[in-house]
Structure 1
Amino acid sequence: MTNVDDADTTHLRRLMVPVLVDVHGTAWATAVFDVTLRHRDHVLVAEAPPHGLSMDVEKTVRATAAGLAQGSGAGPLTVHFLADPRTGEVRFQKKEAGLPAESTLAETLTGLDLASLQHHLAHGGSLSGEPPEPRGHAFQICLSARDPEAGFAPRPGLVEVLRLAAGPGLCAEAAVEEGTAPAEADPLLVRLTAGARNRTEALARLQNGLARTTVVLRGGATDKAFLTEILDRPEISHAGAEAGWVDRLVERGEHLSPRGLRGALVAAALAAYDAELDQAKAGFYGAAQRGRPEVSKEVGRTLELRLRGHLYAFRVHRLDPALYRLDVDGT
């Protein structure tokens, strides 16, 4: 492996390896991530192990990362590489202190608790034996308060509804709570990781998890429809996306489909309805405990949501726990 200048990255894939080092210099390289798919410098989809990287090459990358981390002092470290898909060459790029934000990928594949290990090492603990071998496949995306219709500018707002997906192989890490607002400097809302036995199953699990994750912002916007569209494209399912693919997609205006937008809008309306219904139930039970229960005469709920500059008024009725009727008036 050779060093590479940062400017020579046009056709290369970006890899990173989280490494833990103890006071004796023992280094555990946990897994290899592919973080090529990004818009500008914002990672959109992270994947481990990198598709198309042979098992032997992946092991060599981890071994190289562990060797580079030795002598850097105890603690966490991230080693970056660039892979050339044309030649199969993998080149060292840089190393930096700390673990990457995508570290849950390594935990999903290895079962390690990296936070606990960091605490262990910080108090003089050591690493014994070899690290667990990564097994299966994992993807990660970040749902953010960014507006794809406005150049992905931060659009934070008050979090009125936060519904996280749960299930086998899914890990949803919320960066906000209901009643709070994300910071404009870091508009992250939810980091969603999905792991499974193979790439196809992991991607399907991620798509399903994103569909069942809902964040409604008052006065803000999210990039859920954009992420839904990206994950549904054949370039992702067939692993044909290259560096710069997302940027070119955005430049051509192909990054949002009407289907994805409509789906996100309906999901937001239903989630907002459920949240208001929960509040109404809590108010009813509270009043009942005081001996004065009150039932609203209103049937259904009217909600207003904005999309692409248009205001949509939804009239939502829940017919049974899993069946809704929506009437919509767009202006």
Structure 2
Amino acid sequence: MFRKVLIANRGEIAVRIIRACRELGIQTVAVFSEADRGALHAKIADEAFCIGPAATKDSYLNQKAILAVCEVTGAEALHPGFGFLSENAAFARMCQKCGVTFIGPPPEAMECMGDKSNAKLTMKNAGVPVIPGSDGAVTSLSQAKGVAQAIGYPLLIKAAAGGGGRGIRMVLNEGELETQMTAAANEAQAFFGDSSVYMEKFLVNPRHIEIQVLADSHGNCVYLGERDCSLQRRNQKILEEAPSPSRLMTPALRKAMGEAAVRAAKASGYVNAGTIEFLVDKDGAFYFMEMNTRIQVEHPITELVTGVDLVKKQILIAEGEPLGLTQEDVHLHGHAIECRVNAESPEKGFRPSPGRIESLHMPGGPGIRIDSAVYQGYEITPHYDSMIAKLIAYAPTRAEAVKKMRWALAEFIVDGVDTNIDFQLSLLKNPDFEAGEYDIGYIGRLLEKK
């Protein structure tokens, strides 16, 4: 058992990891930037160290400073959370060289699945359905034109090393190809330090459904059902559900997608928690999109419907423990919905709303879970993401979960900053949402009507 774990992250995920460590009897070390001196994770960890100024490159991406804290404190392991260094294979390898266990997949698996174009080739070889597109990165305009002619328009140009909706451009016709290819490459270079891009066919209004997997170092791998992440705005998830409410999601499709996800994990030599993201078209055909080689923001809804603590499992797997469950042990019970409550103004194009939280009331009651790191008097800075909390409702049925979430949103009070609470509530009251009939383009079409 690890004696001490450093959490190389901030916000609600850092708090979530600290709590999991406490339940396992593990001491925790927090790192924070100068802008986060009053952050909750820095207050509740057993030890906390400032690692640099507010800019992420000088603090939460400062690999040498983070590993120096591991050395000073004697932390044997490091949990990266999500974002920041969580999918950085070079950092995971650096941890290994320093004798620090990286609580996540091996760097080789991260490299295999982190490069989106190489990941597609790996999936094809493993028999996992992939979206028609280029075989690897596209390096010239003439090559791009050839691929476009083969797969047809519309198509997407995507960052090979990307994620989180960055480095993606839609191309409607050949006249847009060069401009959009350059734009995608430039954004990819800015966000990921790699300008490589690949191309794939654009599927019109599919569902975005992801499969949670857990794999240990003993060859065991299971899938824990799906999460429907189709409610998005500009490729950023807003609300997630487990299981999917789509009429397309039958037990047979769930099994097929789950088994494909396990093949994907095994093909890449994956160990720890990971998520395989698929697009599902109107006929129920599914296609591999990408793998997130880390814990997901929306992991709580899977925890609620399966009863599996994913963060604890991450830590135990990293210690070398066997998975402790088989596929036959995994059962889905009830329904869970997660709303991301952000400090932003939907009326102003969802512009971030930094500032001081003057008063705060968070909802509670049976079936309500809140993952958050804010408190009354907390200052939401412009330096990081604007999330206030993840609000999760769980109930035996979807209809009951929707009702719980409506009341929870209505009771959620935040003064001092703008929030998207009313926008989330309007989604929950939408007839299409009630019917479970939505896709990844739904919110965009909804906003165009306003």
Q: CA deviation at 1:77?
A: 1.2
Is the partner of 1:249 in helix, strand or coil?
A: helix
Whether 1:144 and 2:271 are equivalent positions in the alignment is no
Map 1:1-331; keep pairs closer than 5 Å: 2-4=129-131, 5=133, 6-51=200-245, 52=247, 53-70=249-266, 71-85=268-282, 87-130=283-326, 131-184=329-382, 185-217=384-416, 220-253=417-450
Corresponding residue number in structure 2 for 1:279: none
Moved over 4 A (4+): none
Structure-1-length-normalised TM-score = 0.72
Quick check: which one's strand share is greater? Answer: 1
Task: Tell me if the contact between 1:162 and 1:178 (Cα under 8 Å) persists in the aligned partners.
Answer: yes
Is the partner of 2:301 in helix, strand or coil?
A: helix
Q: CA deviation at 1:204?
A: 0.9
Task: Tell me if the contact between 2:344 and 2:352 (Cα under 8 Å) persists in the aligned partners.
Answer: yes
- Return 97-106 or 155-164, whichever deviates more: 155-164
Task: Tell me if the contact between 1:157 and 1:221 (Cα under 8 Å) persists in the aligned partners.
Answer: no
Q: Deviations over 1:76-132 (max 9, x none)?
A: 2110111112x1111222213112110001101011111111110111111134142
Structure-2-length-normalised TM-score = 0.54
Q: CA deviation at 1:27?
A: 1.1
Letter in 1 for 2:389: V
Q: Deviations over 1:32-83 (max 9, x none)?
A: 0110111112211111111220122112212221221124332121101111
Corresponding residue number in structure 2 for 1:294: none
Task: Tell me if the contact between 1:175 and 1:188 (Cα under 8 Å) persists in the aligned partners.
Answer: no
Corresponding residue number in structure 1 for 2:51: none
Is the partner of 2:204 in helix, strand or coil?
A: coil
Q: 1:109 to 1:189 in 2, by over 3 A?
A: same
Task: Name the CA distance, whole Å, in 1 between partners of 2:241 and 2:332.
Answer: 13
Task: Tell me if the contact between 2:203 and 2:281 (Cα under 8 Å) persists in the aligned partners.
Answer: no
Task: Tell me if the contact between 2:362 and 2:411 (Cα under 8 Å) persists in the aligned partners.
Answer: yes
Letter in 2 for 1:92: F
Task: Tell me if the contact between 1:19 and 1:99 (Cα under 8 Å) persists in the aligned partners.
Answer: no
Task: Name the CA distance, whole Å, in 1 between partners of 2:233 and 2:373.
Answer: 20
Task: Name the CA distance, whole Å, in 1 between partners of 2:356 and 2:344.
Answer: 14
Q: Deviations over 1:180-234 (max 9, x none)?
A: 12243300001011111111111111111111121112xx311111111111110
Task: Name the CA distance, whole Å, in 1 between partners of 2:381 and 2:256.
Answer: 39
Task: Tell me if the contact between 1:10 and 1:243 (Cα under 8 Å) persists in the aligned partners.
Answer: no
Task: Name the CA distance, whole Å, in 2 between partners of 1:167 and 1:91.
Answer: 39
Give the number of the structure whose alpha-carbon radius of gyration is greater: 1
Q: What is the aligned-residue RMSD (CA, Å)? A: 1.5
Task: Tell me if the contact between 1:22 and 1:125 (Cα under 8 Å) persists in the aligned partners.
Answer: yes
Task: Name the CA distance, whole Å, in 2 between partners of 1:34 and 1:175.
Answer: 25
Q: Deviations over 1:16-45 (max 9, x none)?
A: 112111001211211201101111122111
Task: Tell me if the contact between 1:196 and 1:202 (Cα under 8 Å) persists in the aligned partners.
Answer: yes
Consecutive unaligned residues in structure 1, runs of 5 or more: 254-331
Letter in 2 for 1:251: E
Is the partner of 2:254 in helix, strand or coil?
A: helix
Q: CA deviation at 1:7?
A: 4.5
Task: Name the CA distance, whole Å, in 1 between partners of 2:212 and 2:358.
Answer: 35
Task: Tell me if the contact between 2:216 and 2:271 (Cα under 8 Å) persists in the aligned partners.
Answer: yes
Task: Name the CA distance, whole Å, in 2 between partners of 1:222 and 1:7.
Answer: 35
- Quick one: percent identity of the two aligned structures? 27
